[in-house]
Each structure stands twice: as structure tokens, then as C-alpha cells.
Structure 1
Amino acid sequence: MKDYKNYYLVQAPPEDVYLALTNPLTISLWTGAEAIMSTEPGSEFSLWDDSIAGRNIEFVENKKIVQQWYFGDQPGESIVTFILHADKNGTSVELRHTNIPDSDIADMIEGWNLNYFGSLQDFYED
């Protein structure tokens, strides 16, 4: 199992980035796919037509999101944490993703960089 940590700059205030990560209508705008999302801890979520699915664990409005991402029958929970920091150019998002199956790590890093945060950054680009 592998862990991944990175920082991404999004050219929008933390309130907008939080909304983009938690509101299903806004998620659909930047992903181009239907999203199922709630800020209720314990609720299930689905993004990119069920390519990403899991359970919401914790929300601190405009500051932090913690989710469990599902990877089939893997032992241990794969936890994704987004921490939003105000930045002079928008929002610095600290991403921590733990317990990624070894066989999925390269695809996950590419997915985070290109699809997930790449799409989010493009959505807020000037």
C-alpha cells in the first residue's frame, strides 16, 4: 500500500473550491459527469459515473474534507483528505491519499494530476 501527498493551486477562493468539491451540481460542471455528493458525514458519494465511489467521513466548511475511497476488497481503508489554505492566488489544496493499492498508485497519481485537479484548475482558470 502506498500514500500520496501533493499541493495544488486553484485560482478561486477557498469557499468556491469547497463548493466545487462538495456540491453535486458544481462537481458536475467541472467534471462533465453526474455526481452524487452530500456534506453529511457517513453518506456515500459517486463521481465520474461511479469511477470514484466512497463514503464521506468529515467536513469542516471551507477548510477540510475527509473521505474513504473504495478499492474493491482491499484491506485497510483508503482515506482522502483535502485541506484548503487561502493563498494570494486563490486556494492551495493539500491532498493526502493513504492506503492506495500498489498496483493502482501510478494511475492514481496521474488521475489526481490530470483528471481531478487538472479539471478543477481548468474550470477556474482566467
Structure 2
Amino acid sequence: MKDYKKYYVLPATPEEVYLALTNPVSIEIWTGEAAEMTAEPGTEFSLWEGSIQGKNLEFEENKKLVQQWYFGEQEEPSIVTIKLHPDKQGTSAELRHTNIPDEDYNDIVEGWNSAYFGSLEEFFSGF
């Protein structure tokens, strides 16, 4: 198991980024694919037409979201924490993803950089 941590700067306010991460209509706009999401702890979510699935654990409006991502039958939960910090360029998004299966690590890191935060950056840069 491996952990990944990185900061991403997005050209939008923390409120706008939080909405883009938690509202299913917004998610579908920046991902281009179906999403199921509710900003309520204990609910399950699905992104990229089911490519990413898990459970929502915690929300702090406009500041933080914590999710468990499912990777088959692994014993230790894989936890994603995204904290949003105001930044002079918009928002600094602090990502921490723990317990990533070794065989999935490179794909997950690439996904964070290009598909997830890369798509968010393109989405907000278009305004």
C-alpha cells in the first residue's frame, strides 16, 4: 500500500471548487460523464460512470471532503481527503490519498493529475 499527497492550485474560489466536487450536475460538466454524489456522510458515490466508487465519510462545507474509495476486497480502507485553502490565485487544494494498492498506484497518480485535477483546472480556466 502507498500514500499520495499533492497540492493543486485552481483558478476558482474554495466555494466554487467545493461545489464542483460535491454537486453531481457540476461533476458531470467537468468530467463529461455520469456521476452520483450527495454531500452527506454515509452515502455512496460514483464518478466517471462507475470507474471510481466509494463512500462519503465527512464534509466541511467549502473546506474539506473525505471519502473512502473502493479497491476490491482490500482490508485497509483507501481514504481520500481534499482540503480547500484560499490562495492568491484562487484555491489551493490539498490532496491526501492513503492505502492505494501498489498495483494501482501509478494509474491513480496519473488520474489525479490529468483526469481529476487536470479536468478541474481546465473547467475553471474556461471562465
Q: TM-score, normalised by structure 1?
A: 0.99
Provide the residue aligned with 2:103 in structure 1. 103
Unaligned runs of 5+ in 1: none
Q: Percent identity over the alignment?
A: 65
SS at match of 1:92: strand
Deviation string for 1:13-46 (max 9, x for gaps)? Answer: 0000000000000000000011100011000000
The letter for the 1-side match of 2:62 is N
Deviation string for 1:62-103 (max 9, x for gaps)? Answer: 000000000001111000000000001100000000000000
Provide the residue aligned with 2:51 in structure 1. 51
Aligned length: 126
The letter for the 2-side match of 1:27 is I
Alignment of 1:68-107 (within 5 A): 68-107=68-107
The letter for the 1-side match of 2:38 is S
Alignment of 1:1-126 (within 5 A): 1-126=1-126
Q: Which runs of 4+ in 1 moved over 6 A?
A: none
Give the superposed CA RMSD.
0.6
Give the distance between the partners of 2:6 and 2:40, measured in 1 at CA: 26
Q: TM-score, normalised by structure 2?
A: 0.98
The letter for the 2-side match of 1:115 is A
The letter for the 2-side match of 1:28 is E
